[in-house]
Amino acid sequence: MLGYYAALALRSFRGGKALTLLIVTLMGLGVATCMVAYAVFRVSAGDPLPGRSGSLFVPQIDNFGPTRTVGGEPPTQLSYTDAMALWRARDGRRLSLVYPLTMVNEPADGVSLPASLEGDAVTRDFFAMFDAPFRYGHAWSESDDVGRASAVVIGDRLNRRLFGGKDSTGQTLQLDGHVFRIVGVIADWNPRPRFYDVATIGQPFVRRGDIFVPFSRAVDLAKRSPYGYCSSTTADTRVPDFNAWLHSECDWIGAWVELRGATDIERYRQYLTAYSATQQQVGRFGWPPNVRLSSLPQWLASLKIVPKATTLSLIVAVSFLGIAIVNVMGLMLARFMRRSAEIGIRRALGASRRAIYAQFGVEAAAIGAAGAMLGVVLTWLGVAGSRFVFEPDIAAWARMDPGLLVTTTAVAVGATLCAALYPTWRAAQVQPAWQIKTDG
């Protein structure tokens, strides 16, 4: 029977080409508009570490005081004093300290021009905590962290540029006039959003990660973060002496800790409170403890990573799809009801309402399939041109991948079937006796 209903649908399409084309076009445009907005939205709102986000937390400690905080929230970064206190008290937990830096690479050939490389100073747990995939080599050792070793992990992009993509572990780089030994090469890794230092830089979709150097070595070389901010207007980020900068109340270091289970989370939150109370007792803080411990999803939500324009575009696009569905419903109702005589004769010859449902359901599915094909093509074109509408840094990551292809097809067919429910129901309610009498 399915083949018979498909043949009836094909005959119907031939008899109403203009109306069929209008329905398919309207559905394809509605689906494509919605899916292009969704493709961009999922890039900005997606989970950068699926399966691990719930175990990664950001500790915050208020070293500014209630008169300098915004809405009572602690600063998003830590001072060097607080960061090192957390580092010393990690007690077997994975904990990573992070701050962005820029270093100048001086080519060994003496011919090429020096190049500025962007990256981060991190502790070794950074790579394991954030599942950074190594193409060659590995992270530096714990002793390298403690011993302020001149080790470096480079990104795959830089490795291709300097070493032609070959295994460069054991090679050296001249960074800011110092020789660094390459211990690992990270594969093409760029989490979206780039959550690990976004609170400092504020550009979550800009590619970085050319180099990663040991946190202790960067501090040893007096590499100051260009993005720090201080609790006092007299102790601005332009503190001239690096040692004074380290011991000031300037916040410039991000901290991440890996916690397993509710008990461990609560224990660490209590530790942060106790540490802050101790700082109050010794006279460093003049206010009660004010700390936060946010999971990765909570952290991204608090920073409002998803641009408002992206969210608004998705809402508008979904609304447009809803309007398209309503219009398709009206067109299908007109299409089906003008065939009332045909339906009445079929019913008079013994066709059940179930058969009518099946016939027009197959026809609606065929229209949905055609709308899906058009929607996929228009979505692909829309994703390719999304950089002209959305922020280029976000739109550059939107892709027409298999997942989006399947979703687009499912949305198109599902939307068409939803639009066909009422028209199909109305068609099945046609009374054969009344139609025969009217035609007679």
Distance, CA of 69 to CA of 58 (rounded, Å) = 17
Residues 336, 430 contacting (CB under 8 angstroms): no
**Which residue, 94, 87, 160, 159, is CA-closest to 131?**
94
- Shared domain for 311 and 364, answered yes or no, is yes
Q: Is residue 288 part of a domain?
A: no
Kindly report the pTM of this predicted structure. Answer: 0.71
The beta-strand segments (E) located in 150-207 are 151-155, 172-175, 178-186
Q: How many structural domains are present in the chain? A: 2
- Shared domain for 219 and 172, answered yes or no, is yes
Q: What percent of the chain has pLDDT over 90?
A: 32
- Shared domain for 71 and 144, answered yes or no, is yes
- Shared domain for 246 and 200, answered yes or no, is yes
State the helix-helix crossing angle for 17-45 and 353-384, rounded to 10 degrees: 50
- Shared domain for 186 and 214, answered yes or no, is yes
- Shared domain for 312 and 371, answered yes or no, is yes
pLDDT at 287: 92
Measured CA distances, 153 to 64, 253, 370 (Å) = 34, 19, 50
- Shared domain for 100 and 138, answered yes or no, is yes
Phi, psi of 338, deg, nearest 5? -75, -5
Distance, CA of 277 to CA of 63 (rounded, Å) = 11
Q: Which of 258, 288, 322 is the endpoint of a domain?
A: 258
Structure-block tokens of residue 433? 């006796």
- Shared domain for 312 and 187, answered yes or no, is no
Least confident of 71-80, 259-268, 287-296, 312-321: 312-321
- Which residues form the domain of 373? 2-48+307-439
Question: Using one digit for the tens of pLDDT, what is the confidence trace for 185-230?
Answer: 999 887 777 788 866 656 666 667 789 999 999 999 999 887 777 7
Q: Is residue 273 part of a domain?
A: no
Distance, CA of 339 to CA of 12 (rounded, Å) = 10
- Using the predicted structure, report yes or no on whether residue 308 has a pLDDT greater than 70: no
- Shared domain for 341 and 419, answered yes or no, is yes
Distance, CA of 20 to CA of 12 (rounded, Å) = 9
- Shared domain for 391 and 250, answered yes or no, is no
- Shared domain for 119 and 146, answered yes or no, is yes
Distance, CA of 90 to CA of 256 (rounded, Å) = 11
Distance, CA of 116 to CA of 106 (rounded, Å) = 9
Distance, CA of 287 to CA of 359 (rounded, Å) = 74
